[in-house]
Amino acid sequence: MPNSCNHYLTVNRLTVVGDRRRLRHFQNSDWLSVFAGRHAELLELPPTRFACSFETATDPLPALQRLSRSHPILVFLLDFELMPARIKGLAKAKAGKLEHCEIGY
């Protein structure tokens, strides 16, 4: 029987950088549902940056790429850890273009 407490095993820290108006538009969107995420916690909110942490049940990179297409002027930085696979990663997305690296541990 699966342990429901371990369902969300990808820990993510998202930082979004951009101008005030576009960043506010992003913050007011339903961005967390694009990741199918939960347990979002705001970490910082200066005028041109938004940072939060949240958990997901799946690889967050496809959702990051979709969000960056929807908000092409913003820069998205994601620090993630896929706990079941023991992978730590860092990704940058802008206008649908994704760069990332991963290391196993």
Asked if pLDDT for residue 2 goes beyond 50, the answer is no
**Residue 38 corresponds to which tokens in the numbers above?**
């939960």
pLDDT tens digits for range 56-73: 998 999 999 999 999 999
Domains of the chain: 4-104 (3.30.70.1270)
Q: Which of 90, 68, 69, 72 is nearest to 81 (CA)?
A: 90
State the chain's maximal CA–CA distance in angstroms: 47
Q: Label residue 1 by pLDDT band (50, 70, 90).
A: very low
The mean pLDDT of 41-65, rounded to a whole number, is 96
pLDDT in the model for residue 4: 46
Asked if pLDDT for residue 46 goes beyond 80, the answer is yes
Percent of the chain with pLDDT over 90: 87
pLDDT in the model for residue 74: 98
